[in-house]
Amino acid sequence: MKKLLAILLAVMLVISCCSCAADNSDKQSSTNEPVTSTQTDANVDNDDAGDIIDDGNTNEDVASDEASSEENSSGDKPNNSKPDTTKPDKDDNTSSEDTTTKPEKPSDKDEQEEEKEDEKPVSSAGDATCSHTYKKATCTKPKTCSKCGKTIGSKLGHSYKEATCTRPKTCTVCGTMSGNALGHNYVLGECTICKDYSKSYCPKLYFTGDMSKITDPKQTSKKIECDINFEYRSRGQTVDGAAKIKIQGTSSTQYAKKNYTITLYDDSNYSSKKKLDVGWGAQSKYCLKANWIDKTHSRNVVTAKLGAQMQAKYGLFNVAPHNGTVDGFPVEIYINGEFHGLYTMNIPKDEWMFGMDKNNPNHIVICGENWNDPVLFKSIPTDLKDWTVEAGPEDDATLQKVQRLVKFVKDSSDAEFKANFNQYLNFDSTINYYIMMNCAWLSDNAGKNMLLATYDGKVWYPTLYDLDTSWGTHWKGTSLYNYSSGVVNGSNSLLWQRIEKLYKKEIAARYFELRQSVLSKENIMAEFNNFKASIPKEVLDRETAKWNTAEHPIPGYDISQIEEYINIVFPRLDNRFSGWK
């Protein structure tokens, strides 16, 4: 009986050992920790305590069996049990008396790896996924994770802006270009596609309406006024409206190609004036110069520019847009779609040329209209026919102011003339006028065409106007003066006779001062060449084709003649004024 019990106990011990080994294997797979033999034995002891069977044996038999069980638990396993090959942990202090399994403490590296695993988001299926950081969709790629490359949705696709003259078809989102630029299609210097202007572009005035009465080569009346519509086009500027236009000038009214004065209005009701700013402030009135006797179209404007530089040098007419002189630029004129000619669009001899207030009765501009004695300061005017009023009131008060000036020049003694000069005439402006008259051979400006401006009704400022007869050119433009000798000193005018007689030293000092700056050959020729460069060759060709006919050929001389004039006349002037120092 004892032997049977011993066998039964041994079988139960084997079963218990196998069960413990299986439990430890499960724990090891979940914790990655080895199971020691000591732990296994402890489990066996624990199992044995719960598996004792009371089969009626005596106490001695049980004690003998327990002694045998204790002997096996000390390390001797039954021969049919699988030995545990797992090495015990060196630091394991578990005794054979423990009744529970103590797992091994995980390493720091294991803890970090477990934390990283915990940080990963888990999908609904329980799988670890990327914490996506998406880049926005582009024309060629959908929305894309920058970490794992996962995409969402579709690419945007290109949104092309149509090709232009200078740029191919271009995506407005990413800038990708496709194909080629259209290229400009220039007609009259203006692109028909984008309205860009070529480097050789010339501003244009388009007139529509009946202008036949004032374009007739034989028409001379300045009283005929035509109502038209206009459109002005320049670089980046287009202005349109209604206008009133009439012939302008004196002797120039006889020429086939006319000068014009134009006043702009908002519409054909002509109740509100249109303002157009072409560089001198917004204005409504302009002068269109045909420059008939000067095929370069430069003499009038460039000579005025030199005069303005002189005035600016001495602080004169600072309130005026161009220091009290005209200014202008080339412009093409088209009438009912047909090219009419090359002109210059100029500041008119008006209040705004001098920065004047038309409501101030002392703001006055007069112009010598002819070569009569009142204009030459040889007789006192009785009306305002020889000296015409260009700005200010045309009344008896203005006439009295003109009479006061002429009487002073005509009747004062030399001593009175010098002593009281600044009460009647501005000295700097007067001396500058005299010097420019000599240098540019202004034979048509010593009396006729001279402007006199006053801001207080007392002191007058001589200023230049109508300067196409200059630099040796005859007033008809068909010939040259003999400038190999002689000078233009305004000797017909009593005013210039007295200036020359009484202010020789002052004139000489001012002349040589200006010859080092404004009136140097280099500055003069630079201004003429710059203006020449502003007129496209194709525009000059159109002008020639339109006006250079057997019936009325274009007169005038080119710019090389001006350089020739300077080389001949200026050394003689240098010598003349050297004797006045």
- Amino acid occupying residue 44: V
DSSP string, 237-306: EEEEEEEEEEEE-SGGGGSSSPEEEEEEESSTT--SBPPEESSS-EESEEEEE--TT-TTS-HHHHHHHH
Question: For residues 481 and 472, is the Cβ–Cβ distance under 8 A?
Answer: yes
Q: What local confidence, expressed as pLDDT, does residue 181 receive?
A: 80
Across the beta sheet with 451-454, what order do the strands follow? 387-391, 364-368, 451-454, 460-463
In angstroms, the CA 354 to CA 193 distance is 41
Per-residue pLDDT tens digits for 164-188: 888 889 999 888 888 888 877 766 6
Task: Output the six-digit token pair for 402.
Answer: 């003109």
* Tokens 């079988």 -> residue: 11
Per-residue pLDDT tens digits for 74-108: 444 434 444 444 444 434 433 333 443 344 444 44
In angstroms, the CA 433 to CA 449 distance is 12
* Tokens 């040259």 -> residue: 480
- Which residues does residue 365 pair with via DSSP β-bridges, in sequence order? 391, 453
When comparing pLDDT for 468 and 123, which is higher?
468
Q: What local confidence, expressed as pLDDT, does residue 142 receive?
A: 93
Question: For residues 429 and 462, is the Cβ–Cβ distance under 8 A?
Answer: yes
Query: Which sign, positive or negative, has the C-alpha torsion 348, 350, 356, 358?
Result: negative
Q: For residues 26-35, give the mean pLDDT.
A: 41
Residue 205 per-residue DSSP state: E
In angstroms, the CA 304 to CA 465 distance is 7
Query: Which sign, positive or negative, has the C-alpha torsion 262, 267, 270, 275?
Result: negative
Per-residue pLDDT tens digits for 184-211: 776 666 677 876 655 568 999 999 999 9
In angstroms, the CA 263 to CA 243 distance is 6
Task: Output the six-digit token pair for 330.
Answer: 């080339």
Task: Output the six-digit token pair for 116.
Answer: 């990283």
Angle between helices 299-313 and 521-533 in degrees, nearest 10: 130
What band does 124 get if pLDDT is binned at 50, 70 and 90?
very low
DSSP H or E stretch at residue 134: strand 134-135
Q: What local confidence, expressed as pLDDT, does residue 183 receive?
A: 76
In angstroms, the CA 372 to CA 386 distance is 7
Q: For residues 403-429, give the mean pLDDT.
A: 98
Q: How many CB atoms lie within 10 A of CB 377?
A: 20
Vertex 447, ends 444 and 450: CA angle to 5°? Answer: 80
Residue 19 has pLDDT above 60, yes or no: no
Per-residue pLDDT tens digits for 424-447: 999 999 999 999 999 999 999 999
